[in-house]
Structure 1
C-alpha cells in the first residue's frame, strides 16, 4: 500500500487533543515517554534504556508514514500546544501471520485517568474505519493492564480470546497478550 492510496488524516483533533503525524522533532518526547518506568509498567521489554532506541523507534514511525501514508500520531492537548503528552493511532502490523492494523495509545502518567487514551483510541478507530478497514484492527495488551483493555473496549473493539498469543518480539517467558479486534 502506498501513501497515495490512503487518505489517512495527517492531523486531526478530538475534544481535547491535537493528533498529528510524528516527525523528527518528536525525538525528546519519544525518549521521555518510552524511558519512563511508570509509562512502561506493562511493556514486557520494560522502558527504553538508551536514547538510540528512541531514535530507532521514531525513524520506524516516520518511515511508516512516508511509505504507507498513515501511522502513529504525536498527541498534544489543545490547551497546551507544542507539548507532546503521548503517542497513538494505527500502524501496519502482523498478528497470527495475518496482516493487521495495530491500534496504539500511550500517554505520560500526567495524562492518565482523564479519558485521553480513549480519545486517541476512538480517533484511531475512526480513521481505520474510513481508510484501512480492509485489514483487521487489533489492540493487544498484557493481562494485568486493565486500563488498556477498557480503552480498547471503549473504542469499539471486541475482546477476542481466540486471538490471544505470545508476541514474538517479547522477551522469553512473557505471557500471552490479550487481543481486542474489529474486522477479523
Structure 2
C-alpha cells in the first residue's frame, strides 16, 4: 500500500473501505461551496467515484490519498492528491483536495499538497502539476501559491460562470523551491 507521513498527517492510498468517508465529506454541502457540480448525491455515486480513484492508482501509480491525523489514525479527515483531469482539450495531472469542515483552517490542505507534489515529482518523469480553482475560492488559491504554483491562464469550464483559474507548478520550479 502506498503511504506517506508528514509532520501531522498520514496519507495513504484510498481503499474501497473509504467510500463512506468520501460520501460524508464530498456529500456535505458546506465542502462544496465552490464546486459547481454540488455535493455527491448518494453513497452509490461515491462508490462510482471511489472506483474511478482506485482505477487511477492502478493505471497511473498516483492518485487520491485518504488523509488522517497521526494522532487519530483510522479517522479520515479529508482526501487529497493527484489525478488526471480534462483541461478543455488536454488531460493534465491535477492537484485536488477536500477536507471535512472540522479540519478547516489547520493547514492540512497545504501539508497534503506538499506531500502529494513531492511524491509525484519523486516518482517518475512528471514535468508539471496543475491546479484549477474557482476564482472566489481564495483559500485554495493561497494553498497553491504556498506550494509555488503560478497562474498561467483561465478555463471556461462552467457555462454562465466566470472561468476557473489555472495554475501550474513545473518540476524545475519545484526543484528550485526545494533547493534540489
CA distance in 2, matches of 1:180, 1:133: 19
Matched residue SS, 2:117? helix
- Partner in structure 1 of residue 154 of structure 2: 164
- 1:125 Cα deviation (Å)? 1.3
Equivalent residue number for residue 122 of structure 1: 114
Structure 1 match to 2:162: 175
Q: CA RMSD in A?
A: 1.7
Instruction: After TM superposition, list the pairs within 5 Å mapping 1:42-57 onto structure 2.
Output: 42-57=34-49
CA distance in 2, matches of 1:134, 1:99: 13
Whether the aligned pair in 2 keeps the contact of 1:11 and 1:19 (CA below 8 Å) is yes
Deviation track 1:19-40 (CA, whole Å, cap 9, x = no partner) reads 0000010010110011101111
Contact persistence 1:133–1:183 (CA under 8 A):
no
TM-score by length of 1: 0.87
Q: Which runs of 5+ in 1 are unaligned?
A: 1-8
Give the 3-state SS of the residue equivalent to 1:164 in structure 2.
strand
Distance 2:125 2:86 in 1: 15
Checking the alignment, whether the CA contact within 8 Å between 2:62 and 2:120 is kept in structure 1 is no
Instruction: Specify the alignment match of 1:109 in structure 2.
Output: 101
What stretches of structure 1 move > 4 A for 4+ residues in a row?
none
Q: Counterpart of 1:34?
A: 26
CA separation of 1:20/1:94 partners in 2, compared to 1, >3 Å: closer, same or farther? same
Between the two structures, name the one with larger relative contact order (CA 8 Å, sep ≥ 6): 1
- Count matched residues: 171
Cα distance in structure 2, aligned partners of 1:165 and 1:53: 26
Structure 1 position 139 matched with structure 2 position 152 = no
> Structure 2: how far apart are the matches of 1:118 and 1:42?
18
Is 1:22 the counterpart of 2:9? The answer is: no
Contact residue 138 and residue 180 of structure 1 kept, 8 A: yes
Instruction: Please tell me whether the aligned partners of residues 101 and 135 of structure 1 are also in contact (alpha carbons under 8 angstroms).
Output: no
Task: Report the CA distance between 1:61 and its aligned residue.
Answer: 0.2
Verify: 1:94 aligned to 2:86, yes or no: yes
- Distance in 2 (alpha carbons) for counterparts of 1:118 and 1:36: 21
> Unpaired segments of 5 or more residues in structure 2?
172-180
